[in-house]
Amino acid sequence: MISCSQCGTQNRDGSKFCNNCGTRLAPGALGLPRQPAAPQGVPGTSQEASIPEWLQSQSAVSNNESAALARPEENAQDVDSSAQEEYEMPDWLARLRAASPEEEPRTPSGDSANPGDSPNVSGPGNVPNWIKNLRDQEPAEPPVGPAAEEPDWLRQLRANATEQSPSPQAQWVTPSSPEGDGASSEDETVTADWLAANMPSQEASQAELSVPAFSVSADSGGIDASNLSDWCQDAQAPTAPSEQPAGEQVAESAATLEEPEPEQTESSGLGEPSGFGESSGFEQFFTEATDETFERSAFGEPSEVGTAASATAEQLEGLPTADLPDWLRAAMPTQGRGGLPGTGEPAVEQPSPGEIPTWIKALKPVELQVKAGRQEKPETSGPLEGLRGVIPLALAVTEPHSPPRMPSPNWHTGAGPLFDAILAEPREETTPRSSRRVRPVWTMRPIIYLLLALAVIIPLLVPPGLTAQVLSTPSASEFHNTLRAVPPNSTVLISFDYEPSLAGEMDLQANAIVRDLLARQVKIIAVSTIETGPQMAQNILVKAATGKNLRYGSEFLNLGFLPGHEAGLAQLAVELPAKDMLNQKLTNYPLTVNMKNLSGVALVVELAGSEDALRMWMEQVQARTRLRIAAGVSAAVEPKARVYRDAGQLVAILSGLTGAANYELLSNQPGLAVTSLNAQNAGTLVLLFIILLGNVMHWVSRARVGDRPVGTGHLPATEGQAQPPVETGPLPAAKARSGVGGREG
Amino acid sequence: MKWLATAVTIGVGMIVLLDFFFEHPLLDAVGAVFREWTIILTGFALLLGLFNLLGVHLMRVVRRNEPGALYSAIVLVSFAAVAVLGMWYGLPSAEMGWIFDNIYLPLQSAFFALVAFFLATAAYRSLRARSIDTLWMLIAAVIVLLGQVPFLRVFADAKDWVLAVPAEAGVRGILIGVGLGTIATGLRLIVGLDRPHST
C-alpha cells in the first residue's frame, strides 16, 4: 500500500496517483537514488531519535522556508520528489507503518526525520501516516543521545557547520526557488531547439536537484570521510594539508563535503548563491569536471550530468551575470564569461542577451553544425519560395529550358544527306532467290575427278594382253621364291589381316598366293585378327579350291577370328585354337589332328592391310616362335615392312597391286591383278599430270600477284562507287604467295 | 583397396614377362591362363562398344529432331536384321556370306575407292613447290609415282632408293622410339610408378 503524501489515503501498490486527491504517487523512473538516511537493520538509526539535533535544526529551517512557499505550483517538484521517496520507501519503514495502522494521523510538529519530506508538508492534514507512526513510536524507542554516539570529530564537524551560516546551505539545498524557475522559463525563449532537445525534462531536473539535499544531509549526519568517493577526496586534498592533525583534517573534510558537488552546483545555481566560489580546490575540481562533461556532451555520450550542466548553463545565459554565484562564474569558460560588476574582473566578450555563447555553441551536435554550415540558397520563385535546401533538380525541371546545342562532329556531316538520298532512291524489285543465276565458281576439282575416272575405267575395258606391262620388282621375285621353297604337303599359315576396304588391293595378292600354294599341293590354314577377315579368307579359299577337288579340313582350313589382338596372337604362338570357324574341333580335321601349335607350320604369310597387324605378328609370334614369316602388304605399309625385311624378321614382302601382278606373272597365272595394274598405271600418270598442273597454276598466280603493286587494292573502283578499304600490310602478299583465298582446286 | 589393383598389375605383368623370356611349364600355364582372360575381356569390350553404338543411335532416333536420325534408324534396322539372321542361320552360313559379299564388302570398297579422288585433289593443292621443304616433298612424291609406272626403269630404281634409305630410316627411328616407349611404359607399370588401375 502506498500512502498519499497529501491526504494520507492508502493506495494500492503500483498506483501512480492518489485515488482521493489525485496527487502523483510515483513520478516514474527518474533515476532517484534510494534514501540513504537510515540503513536497514541498524537499531535505533531508523527512528527519529537517532537523528542528530543539528540535523533536526536544519530540517526545521528547511521546513520553515518551505512553508513560506505557499504556492503549490512551485512545490510541485518537491511533491514529486517526496512521492518518489515514498515509492522507494525501504522495507523497514514499511513495517513500521504497518505496525500501527489503526492510529490516526496527528498534527505535524514541524520536525521530521526525513528532511526531504518535511518541507513539502504544508498543512497539518498532509502529514502521512507513516510519519505519524514514527512519531508515535518515538517514546518506545530507547533514547539515543547524540553525545552518546557521535564521536568527537563529528561533534567538531557539527560545530563548524553551525558556525557557518546555515541559511545559505539551506538555500542551495533547497531544490527550487521562484527565481530559478523564472530563469528557466525565461531561457526557454532564447534556447535553440537542438539545445532544448538535450535539456532534461522539468521533472528530471528537479529530481536531480533534490538529490544533493539528501546526500548532504546524510553526509552531514554521520558519513565517514573514508566513505567519500575518490573525486570528493581529490577535491578536498588541496584544502587538507598533511601537516594538520587528523582531527582537523576530518573537520575540514566534513566542511568541504558541505560544499556543493557538481550536481549540487547546478541546483544551487537556481537558488540564491552563497560564498562557495572562494574555495580554490572545489573550483579546480568543478572546472575539470565541467570540461570533461562538456567533452562528453560534444561527443554525444549520454550523461545526465552533462545534460543537466548544458541545460543549466543555457538557462544561466538569460540571467544577469550579477545573479550568478561565484563558483559558477569560476566554472564557466573564460571566453564566454563576462566580468562581474563590483568584482573588478575585466569583461571578456560580454554576450548580448539574445546571443548564445560560443562555449555553449561548442556543445551543439556535430551533425547539426554541419547542416548549419551549409549555406543553402533560398528559393526565390515558385511555391517553394523562401525555403532553403530545396533540391536543385526541381529548379531545372519545373522551369522552361532547352538543352544546350552541341557542336556537330565532322565525321557525319555528309552522312545525313547521303542517308536521305538513299531513302529517296526507288526501291528495286527483288527477284526470288531461286531465279537468281549463281555465278559459277571456277574450280579444278571436277576436271581432276573426270581425268582420274577416265584413267582408271578405260584400262579396265582393254584386254590385258594388249597393254600389260608389268614392272618386275626384286621384292616380288624374292617373295615368289620364298613360297616356291615351301615343299608340297606342308602347311602354310595365312593371316588375312586387312579390312574389306583394302580388298581391291589385298584380295589380288591373296588370290595369287592361295592359288599358287594350292596348285602346288601346299596345305593352307587361314586365320584373321580382324572380325571381317575370316569371311574374306573363306571366300578366297573356297574360290581357289573350287574345281580342284580340294576339301575343307584336308587341304585348307579356316580358324576364323582370333580375338585379343596381341594376347590372341601370343596364345596362337603357343597353341592353336580348339575350334575352327565352323565351330568344329581341330582334332576332327585331318589337317590339324596332330597339330598342337605353329611348330608344324612351314611358313606364315601375313597379309597386312595396316602396320599394326604386321607389328603384332612381328612382336608376338615371330619373336616367340622364330617362324619364317613373309608379308604381303598394301603399298602404304611397304615402308614399314621394309624395315622388318631388312632386319631379317620378314623373309620376304609383297607390296601392293604391283607385287600382286608380279606374283601372277611369276606364277604363270595372270589374272585380275595384271588387268588392274594397267588401270593403276594410268591413274598414276594422271595424278602426276594433276600435280604438275597444280604447280603451274601456282606459279602463274604468283607471277600475276608479283606484277601488281602490293597494297594498291584488289579491284579497280568503278566510277560513282565507293572505293573499298585498301588492304595494306603483309597479309595480301602472304595470301598471294600461299595461294590462300583462291578456290583453284 | 588401391594397393590390391597395383599388386595385381605388378604380379600379372611380371609373370607374363617371365613367361616370354623363360621356358617353364608353370609359367607357361599361368601365362596361358592370363592370356585367355585377356581375350575374354577383349570380347566383352567389343560387346560394350556394340551397346554404346546402339545407345547413341537409339537416343538420336528417339529425339527425332537431331540431324542424322534417319541414318541412325538405318543403322538400328541393319543391326537388327544381321543379328537376327546371324543368330538364326549361324555366322558361317550362306546367308551371312551373301550379306557380307554383296553389301558389306562392296560398300567398304567403294567408300575406300573415293579416297583416290580426294587424294588427287589434295595432291593438286598441296604438292606445290612453295618453299624448299615442299620442293623436296614434291620431288620425292614424283619419284615414287614415276617408279610405279613400268615405263621408265630409272625411276623404279630411284623409287627403291627412296623407300630403302630415307623412308626406311625415318620409319626405323619411329619404330625404335615406339619400342623404347613401350618398354618404359611397361616397366613403370610393373614397378608400380604408373597406377592407372588404382586411381
- Residue-wise pLDDT for A627-636, tens only, equals 999 999 999 9
Q: What is the DSSP letter of A528?
A: E
- What sign does the dihedral A221-A222-A224-A227 (CA atoms) show? negative
Cβ <8 Å between B168 and A643: yes
Give me the count of residues in chain A: 745
Mean pLDDT of chain B: 89
Cβ <8 Å between A643 and B100: no
Cβ <8 Å between A567 and B145: no
The whole-number pLDDT of residue A480 equals: 94
Beta bridge partners of A2: A11
Residues 6+ apart with CB under 8 A from A323: A179, A183, A273
Chain B partners of A499 at a C-beta cutoff of 8 Å? 108
With an 8 Å Cβ cutoff, is A15 touching chain B? no
| A407 CB-contact burial (10 Å; exposed 0-12 / middle 13-18 / buried 19+) | exposed
The whole-number pLDDT of residue A124 equals: 47
| B199 CB-contact burial (10 Å; exposed 0-12 / middle 13-18 / buried 19+) | exposed
CA distance A229 to A369: 37
Strand segments, DSSP code E, in A48-119 are: none
CA distance A114 to A214: 9
Max Cα-Cα span within chain B: 69
With an 8 Å Cβ cutoff, is A739 touching chain B? yes
Cβ <8 Å between B108 and A684: no
The whole-number pLDDT of residue A414 equals: 74
Q: Answer for the pair A23, A83: CB distance below 8 angstroms, yes or no.
A: yes
Tell me the backbone φ, ψ of residue A302, rounded to 5 degrees: -70, 125
Q: Answer for the pair A548, A600: CB distance below 8 angstroms, yes or no.
A: no
Chain A partners of B105 at a C-beta cutoff of 8 Å? 500, 503, 536
Q: What is the pLDDT of residues A73-91, one digit of tens each?
A: 444 444 444 444 445 555 6
- pLDDT bin (cut points 50, 70, 90) of residue B73 is very high
Helices of type H across B90-167:
94-99, 105-126, 132-148, 153-162
Cβ <8 Å between B149 and A694: no
pTM of the model: 0.52
How distant, in Å, are the alpha carbons of A193, A287, A303, A360, A555 from that of A295?
A: 20, 12, 11, 12, 122
Cβ <8 Å between A745 and B124: yes
Whether B147 has a pLDDT exceeding 60, the answer reads yes
- What sign does the dihedral A636-A641-A643-A645 (CA atoms) show? negative
CB pairs under 8 A between A and B: 150
Cβ <8 Å between A452 and B128: no
Question: Which candidate in A447, A448, A475, A662 is best for mutational testing of the B interface (most B CBs within 10 A)?
Answer: A448
Interface of A with B in 479-518 (CB under 8 A): 499-504
CA distance B37 to B12: 11
Interface of A with B in 434-463 (CB under 8 A): 444-445, 448-449, 452-453, 456
For chain A, which ranges sit under pLDDT 70?
A: 26-152, 157-326, 328-355, 364-376, 389-413, 428-440, 464-470, 707-745
Cβ <8 Å between B92 and A688: no
Closest partner residue to B105 (CB to CB) among A503, A683, A739 is A503
The position carrying cell 531561457 is A187
How distant, in Å, are the alpha carbons of A695, B129, B131 from that of A730?
A: 23, 21, 18
Cα A561 off chain centre by:
65
Q: Answer for the pair A581, A592: CB distance below 8 angstroms, yes or no.
A: no
Chain B: residue nearest A694 by CA? B124
User: What is the CB-side half-sphere exposure of residue A300 using CA atoms within 13 A?
Assistant: 5
The whole-number pLDDT of residue A408 equals: 61
Closest partner residue to B171 (CB to CB) among A563, A640, A688 is A640
Chain A: residue nearest B172 by CA? A643
Q: Answer for the pair A122, A74: CB distance below 8 angstroms, yes or no.
A: no
Residues 6+ apart with CB under 8 A from B92: A538, A581, A582, A583
Question: Which candidate in A505, A507, A642 is best for mutational testing of the B interface (most B CBs within 10 A)?
Answer: A642
CA distance A322 to A459: 141
Chain A partners of B112 at a C-beta cutoff of 8 Å? 501-502, 504
CA distance A21 to A293: 41
Cβ <8 Å between A744 and B42: no
CA–CA–CA angle A534, A540, A546 (5° rounding): 130
Nearest-neighbour CA in chain B from A642: distance (Å): 7
DSSP tally for chain B: helices H, then strands E: 8, 0
Chain A: residue nearest B97 by CA? A535
CA distance B140 to B147: 10
CA distance A540 to A546: 10
Q: Could you give the 3-state DSSP secondary structure of residue A537?
A: helix
Closest partner residue to A452 (CB to CB) among B112, B120, B141 is B120
CA distance A172 to A209: 9
CA distance A634 to A657: 8
Question: Which candidate in B50, B98, B148 is best for mutational testing of the A interface (most A CBs within 10 A)?
Answer: B148
Closest partner residue to B146 (CB to CB) among A453, A582, A688 is A688
Nearest-neighbour CA in chain B from A501: distance (Å): 4
Pairing of strands A10-11, A2-3: antiparallel
Pairing of strands A556-561, A603-608: unpaired
The whole-number pLDDT of residue A255 equals: 45
Question: Which candidate in A616, A687, A690, A696 is best for mutational testing of the B interface (most B CBs within 10 A)?
Answer: A687
- pLDDT bin (cut points 50, 70, 90) of residue B58 is very high
The whole-number pLDDT of residue A555 equals: 92
The whole-number pLDDT of residue A690 equals: 93
Span B143-164, average pLDDT:
85
With an 8 Å Cβ cutoff, is A688 touching chain B? yes
Chain B partners of A444 at a C-beta cutoff of 8 Å? 124
Span B149-173, average pLDDT:
87
Question: Which candidate in A443, A535, A597 is best for mutational testing of the B interface (most B CBs within 10 A)?
Answer: A535
Pairing of strands A629-633, A603-608: parallel
Other C-beta atoms closer than 10 Å to the C-beta of A640 total 25
Cβ <8 Å between A687 and B112: no
ipTM score for this prediction: 0.88
CA distance A657 to A520: 23
Whether B139 has a pLDDT exceeding 60, the answer reads yes
Cα A478 off chain centre by:
81
Cβ <8 Å between A448 and B35: no
Nearest-neighbour CA in chain A from B5: distance (Å): 20
Tell me the backbone φ, ψ of residue A201, rounded to 5 degrees: -70, 165
CA distance A509 to A161: 143
